[in-house]
Copies of this chain bind each other. A is one copy, B any other.
Amino acid sequence: MADAAPERRTSNTLQRIGEILQSGTMQEARRLLNALHPAEIAHLLESMPPAQRELVWELVDPEYDGEVLLHLGDDVRQSLIEGMDAQELIQATEGLDVDDLADLVQDLPETVLKETLKGMDKQRLQRLEAVLLYPEDSAGGLMDTDTVTVRADVSLDVVLRYLRLRGALPDATDTLIVVNRYDRYLGLLPLSALLINDPDHTVAEVMAQDIDGIPAQASAREVAKIFEDRDLVSAAVIDEQGKLLGRITIDDVVDVIREEADHSVMGRAGLSDDEDIFAPVLLSSRRRAVWLGINLATAFLAAGVIGLFEGTIEKSVELAVLMPIVASMGGIAGSQTLTLVVRGLALDQVAHGNLRWIFRKEVAVGALNGMLWALVVALIAIVWFGNYKIGGIIALAMMLNLAVAALVGVGIPLVLRRLRIDPAIAGGVILTTFTDVIGYASFLGLATLLLFTV
């Protein structure tokens, strides 16, 4: 990695494995593949069409299977799991961290799940159950239960001896968790504090008490916010009585942030978060058809509005030429407002206290830009069609549509959030329905009123 960017490295490996697969020396492909990190293998698999993917998946050392599955998006993971037999699946789940296992377990077929649980030792089973009690996207669902705890009243020296006796620590252990005798969370003991302080000190004297435990019910998004704000590497998860349940590590938080980001980008286009770019044609078509169908319905609504003014268009066909401009500018301006407000809501920057301010500002911005571009469009329309009236009508319609776009751009996410619908996904469709309908209706309506009567 010191001499090649990892991106190029994967492309190279991809190409080489492809070549080797074609020339038939499986042994070499296997060696090349299993020298990679499981995350890199996962990435390779995600970059391959299904046929090649299955071939390569066969070559992966079974001992990496679990880790590789974890690093795959839901879609690809599901398709590979379907091709594995119970034996292989059970083997893949061994050796995984409990929080990761909890992630995977939900994708396993029922029979395999039962087998896996049966084969598990009691402690591991109890831990898994503790995690599965909570929704996947909550602090409880993200936590791992293999915490290393210490009591507040012992000396650092005792802790040091205990650790040496214990041997290996769980991954990403940057702190030990301090609890009282009822297992209630008291604070954190950073490993660095163990190393730099006099061993005669007690844990209570050097532990950090300013990092609160995270309630198991907290949403994944809240957890991410706490980690980001406080620059944490790990944090304790507690129940309602303050009892320690487990710990969350930054690598899981990074996954949450990445998924959230994917969700908003993909959701806006009506795609699922983990959409496999190499999904089978039929599956992709079926999924996308739904989104197209919804959009078709709104398009027909807009067409219906235009249909009301057929008579007007017949008399002055320039209207048909200009009308999409009014609709599309409303959509563009509205989606800027919508994007800003949806992000503001997600970051919790938008609240009751400042809503009126945001409404006023967005409408003012819409009005200003409405006036500016109304003027430009009017001038072009007048030059193009030599008709002052049409210029005035399109200017009025544009100003109206941009003001409405600002209002609905702020209003839609607020209403959707009230209804518990994700505004990042549904917001865009609803917005353009408004701006199309109002754009066409105002332009053609004003034309009907003013063009032939005045």
Question: Footprint of B on A, CB under 8 Å?
Answer: 1-3, 5-7, 10-11, 14-15, 18, 37, 39-40, 43, 46-49, 71, 160, 163-164, 166-169, 171-174, 191-192, 194-198, 212-215, 218-219, 222, 225-231, 233, 238, 242, 250-251, 253-255, 257-258, 260-262, 264-266, 268-271, 275, 277-278, 281-282, 284-285, 288-289, 291-293, 295-296, 299-300, 302-303, 306-307, 310, 313-314, 317-318, 320-325, 327-329, 332-333, 335-336, 338-341, 343-344, 347-354, 357-358, 361, 364-365, 368-369, 372-373, 376-377, 380, 384, 436
Contacts and interface: CB of A to CB of B under 8 A. Distances in A.
A425 B195 CA distance: 49
Contacts of A173: 192
A288 to B, nearest CB: 6
Contacts of A225: 6-7
A296 B6 contact: no
Nearest to A349: B47
A269 B335 contact: yes
Given A43-B348, A321-B306, A168 B196 contact: yes
A175 to B, nearest CB: 10
Contact of A257 (B192, B261, B340): B261
Nearest to A174: B174
Contact of A231 (B172, B303, B351): B172
Between A196, A255, A327, A328, the greatest number of chain B beta carbons within 10 A of the residue's beta carbon is seen for A328
Contacts of A168: 192, 196
B222 A344 contact: no
Contacts of A277: 340-341, 343-344, 349-350, 358
A335 B443 CA distance: 27
29 contacts: A1-B212, A2-B215, A5-B215, A5-B219, A6-B225, A6-B229, A7-B225, A39-B228, A164-B195, A169-B192, A174-B174, A250-B250, A270-B332, A270-B336, A278-B354, A281-B361, A285-B364, A288-B369, A292-B369, A296-B373, A296-B376, A299-B328, A300-B380, A307-B321, A307-B384, A310-B317, A317-B320, A320-B323, A324-B436
Contact of A324 (B198, B222, B324): B324
A15 to B, nearest CB: 6
A220 B37 CA distance: 20
A351 B15 contact: yes
A137 to B, nearest CB: 14
B195 A192 contact: no
B40 A343 contact: no
Contacts of A238: 2
B281 A340 contact: no
Given A7-B348, A174-B174, A257-B258, A313 B324 contact: no
